[in-house]
Amino acid sequence: MDLFSLKGKTAVVIGGGSGIGEAVALGCARQGARVICLDVNEAAARRVAERAAAEGCVCESGVLDIRDSAAVDGAFNDLDATYGVDIAICTPSINVRKPIMKYTDEELSRVLDVNIKGNFHVLRAAGRVMTPRGKGSIILFSSVRSQVVEPGQGAYAATKAGIVQLARAAAAEFGPHGVRVNTIGPGVIETPLTAPIKANADWYNAYAAKSVFNRWGKPEELVGAAVFLASDAASYVTGSVIFVDGGWLAADGRFTPPGM
């Protein structure tokens, strides 16, 4: 028995058009799942679906903005009626890197609307279709910023901590109905979201040094955690956070004592 196989399962991957979402969508498809790749950028989602199809995988695409609760509800209702939704993975987030005192109300709303409200919409919609059938796995994406912060990350960090607590609450509520809810906490990963950091050599190198591997992570390195949580290998795992951060949270400093 292949504990990590996703054959016979339908996985809805939101934010699947680029970055971590793209890697996870392709990873689930390669493990045998029927993947529904959804993204606010329809063309990007279609490109990923075509790439998966070229590899002989089953992957469809569509457009979805998680800020629109009615659209999220409609998408899950339609997909569940057609295929039955076994796995829901939500990857989108945005960050406005500014000190708290310089944040505008509009900027705060932008971050909250995607990172908190958007994830809540997905969590609620997935729970509504999964709990009546008594099974399912929901995976949200948090960050190391749910645990540690730096100047300019206040709103983003708060939302990433909030995602963890949303998932834990949902795990407690959905668990009696056979539905698991977990989160993945990436470290610094090379994605479109982190492109401004990569463009600054000092900033890029400082973040690389926070990893015990002295490098950034790649989107493909998140796939294993996602497949694990989606699969039967994680049948007794719920309310948990898996940090995929290259040791960022494990090491509290960069100084190596003499003699080490």
CATH-assigned architecture of domain 10-244: 3-Layer(aba) Sandwich (3.40)
The domain limits of the chain are 10-244
Distance of alpha carbon 144 from alpha carbon 156, whole angstroms: 11
What pairs with residue 36 in β-bridges?
A: 12, 60
Q: Could you tell me which of 81, 170, 179 has the C-alpha nearest to residue 121?
A: 170
pLDDT digits (tens, 9 = 90+) for 89-99: 999 999 999 99
- Residue entry with tokens 């009615």: 70
Which helix H or strand E contains 159, and what residues bound it?
A: helix 154-174
Q: Residues 7-32: what's their mean pLDDT? A: 97
pLDDT given at position 192: 78
Q: State the burial class of residue 239 (Cβ atoms within 10 Å of its Cβ: 0-12, 13-18, 19+).
A: middle
Q: Could you tell me which of 216, 219, 220 has the C-alpha nearest to residue 246?
A: 216
DSSP code, position 97: -
pLDDT given at position 198: 83
Amino acid in position 142: S
pLDDT digits (tens, 9 = 90+) for 199-247: 889 889 999 998 999 999 999 999 999 999 999 999 999 999 999 999 9
pLDDT digits (tens, 9 = 90+) for 166-185: 999 999 999 999 999 999 99
Distance of alpha carbon 258 from alpha carbon 242, whole angstroms: 33
Q: φ and ψ at 196, to 5 degrees?
A: -60, -30
Residues that are catalytic: 156
pLDDT given at position 195: 80
Distance of alpha carbon 58 from alpha carbon 81, whole angstroms: 18
pTM of the complete model: 0.95
